[in-house]
Structure 1
Amino acid sequence: MELFNSALGRNITFVRPAYFIISGLMGIPNIKYYYIFLFFVYIVSVLGNTAVMAIIYLDHNLRTPKYVAVFNLAFVDLFGSSALVPKVIDIFLLNQPNIPYSDCLTFLFFCYTCLCMQSFNLVALSYDRLVAIIFPLHYQVKITHRFMLSLIGVFWVFVIIAILIAIGLITRLSFCGSVVINSYFCDHGQIYRLACNDHYPNYVLSCLYPVLMFWLPLVFILLSYLYIGFTLAKVATVQEGLKAFKTCTGHILLVAIYFIPLLITFTLMENIHPNARIINLSLTSVIPPMLNPIIYVLQTQEIKESLKKLLKIRRKLKITMAKSTIM
């Protein structure tokens, strides 16, 4: 306990605020139109990801390891959008900027967990494509249901423990000054900078976690596609190579939609207006969950065929029910 108190400093009394004030989107001109856009994006995300999950669940032909990862991605997108967008609309559109301390940490946990799981889910899908293209004869042995479930389970455990560590370090901070968070949600970086006592461990995490959660997964994905391209260039014809890469189109688009906005925002961080940065970061949180199911439905032949089949079955059931009602 003495060690803990010394970390706070001799002249600082430990203060845990009753609430934080989230102010990131306040004062931006015409911001109400952005809330309407967010609401539209959220509805599309819910409908699209629910549809993808339902298609995979109902069609037994899609009960493959690859679609275990796709199902998990749709679940993470749905869960993440539901954790973020309604709360953002409640805070800013309904003018409820005060969020209790414990609720803020819960908000932080769900937002960061889902954001990080999107990254690792793309790693799982890239590994699936790597094995399918480079080792097609061993695919069924290497990529099994058990392996994919275990891989995704390990990612979930890792991300949850990492975010809980970050939250645990926040609980040791004392807030004796401002409680205004200049972000659109309970942002870890914004919170620890408000602390009166030593927040160096939080600073270290804020530097380490982006590397672990975003840049290392991106490096793995890029290297996997470089390896695929290098291998195909040696052993396959141009047509065979293009055919193999066509199976990766959906995943490549998902990677681009998720990582490119993050790269642009963090690269230009010092050169863009704080309001523009907040809008950009909020878009990186809500746009991928909306576009992911659309991309998979349009780019993945198996899901398109499954959707057609399910719609045919539904149409036949309607016709049958109509005939039985007439009779």
Structure 2
Amino acid sequence: MFVFMSKSNRSSHQEFIILGFPGLPQQQRLLFLLFLSLYLLTLLENMLLIVTIRLNCQLHTPMYFFLGNLSLLDIFYVSATVPKLLSILLLGEKTISFGGCLTQLFFFLSLASSECFLLAVMAYDRYLAICHPLRYPILMSHRTCVTLSLASWVSGFLASFPSIVMISSLQFCGTNIIRHFFCDLSPLLKLSCMDTSAIETLDFVAALAVLMTSILVTGTSYIYIFSTITRMPSTMGKHKAFSTCTAHLAVVSMFYATTIFMYARPRAIGTFDPNKLVSVLYTVLAPFLNPIIYSLRNRDVRETWSRAVSRKAISSAFSVRIKWGQ
């Protein structure tokens, strides 16, 4: 856990109370089952996609390398918030230490920023593959892929670090109730009895910088991609090029829209309570839907899973036949 404060600056509150969903007192067990199912399915889907990419040599390409990174990132991303939410819903354990709250906030913001950068890298990869196919193997070597992936992860963590350091020096001398289902920035700052305008400004600028950098790279890449696709003489070539981009565009649109709505807009501090539904969308549903979107739109992944299922079915039928013969 993060402990950036000296004893003289330590908050008067050593722990906070996360309300969760107090407006649904009779549905806490139902919400627990819902979020538990989504969490387990998210872990299963993303791990299955990682294993599929790892075991199939045909999928050892830059596009799938970054897709595997996205799945790994989504596993960590959803695990930053959902386990604590599950304990709140099932056991009523709503308290969280100040250090635990900072830790959860740090990983949540860092992983969200890393996902922004990684989605931009994936758009750039599609740009090189479609617009420069002959030079693509040289431009996007394995070394380049690893470098871009590491840069996405590291940049995301560096982007959120200054805000966490500043928050750690705040004092919280009023209520200690966080009106959210995890330690998000807006409801946490709302509880401080100190002036938080500097932190709010820093966080807004940091979120805007991360989003605008990612959107600029993504948007520019797709302008060139669509320009190249429209000039392709083959209808089949156009369809194949579009099919490799639609899944990424769907994921990017959902992630950027919800993130901009929650963080990259002024006066977000006072409006977090009505936005729990949007928070659920980008904290829980987005990691759950990402592998589904990519799998449904990706023929190589579907064929790999089909072959695996077929081999399993044949193996099971063969073993049953042997036992029957015995």
TM bin (shorter chain): 0.7 to 0.9
Q: Note closer, same or farther for the CA distance 1:54–1:125 as it changes in structure 2 (3 Å cut).
A: same
Does residue 320 of structure 2 align to residue 310 of structure 1? no
Match runs of 1:275-286 below 5 Å: 275-286=273-284
Partner of 1:17: 13
Distance (whole Å) between structure 1 residues aligned to residue 233 and residue 284 of structure 2? 40
Q: How does 1:165-180 map to 2 (within 5 A)?
A: 165-180=162-177
Partner of 2:67: 70
d(CA) in 2 for partners of 1:24, 1:269:
22
| Contact 2:186–2:272, Cα closer than 8 Å, also in 1 | no
Q: Which moved more, 1:128-137 or 1:209-218?
A: 209-218
- Counterpart of 1:137 (choices 131, 134, 138) is 134
Q: Which residue of the partner structure matches residue 111 of structure 1?
A: 108
TM-score by length of 1: 0.86
Distance 1:119 1:241, change over 3 A: same
Show the 5 A alignment for 1:76-155.
76-155=73-152
Within the candidate set 36, 39, 64, 1:39 is matched to: 36
Contact 2:117/2:156 (8 A) holds in 1: no
Task: Could you list the structure 1 runs, at least 4 aligned residues long, displaced by more than 6 angstroms after superposition.
Answer: 266-270
Tell me, in whole angstroms, the C-alpha distance in 1 between the residues paired with 2:193 and 2:266.
29
Please give the alpha-carbon distance, in whole angstroms, between the structure 1 residues aligned to 2:244 and 2:272.
39
Q: Does 1:291 align with 2:289?
A: yes
- Check whether the contact 1:113–1:163 (CA below 8 A) recurs between aligned residues: yes
TM-superposed CA distance for 1:38, in Å, is: 2.0
Count the aligned residue pairs: 316
Q: Any residues of structure 2 matched to 1:157-196 within 5 Å, and which?
A: 157-196=154-193
Unaligned runs of 5+ in 1: 6-11
Kindly tell me: are residues 147 and 95 of structure 1, through their superposed partners in 2, closer, same or farther at Cα, counting changes over 3 Å?
same
Output the amino acid matched with 1:88.
L
Distance 2:297 2:196 in 1: 46
Whole-angstrom CA distance in 2 between matches of 1:37 and 1:225? 36
**TM-score calculated relative to the size of structure 2:** 0.86
Query: For residues 207-226 of structure 1, what are the structure 2 equivalents within 5 Å?
Result: 207-226=204-223
What is the deviation of 1:241? 3.3
Unaligned runs of 5+ in 2: none
Q: CA RMSD in A?
A: 2.8
Answer yes or no: is the 8 Å Cα contact 1:80–1:115 preserved in 2.
yes
1:313 is aligned with what amino acid? R
Q: Is the 8 A contact 2:243 2:297 kept in 1?
A: no
Which shows bigger deviation, 44-53 or 159-168?
159-168
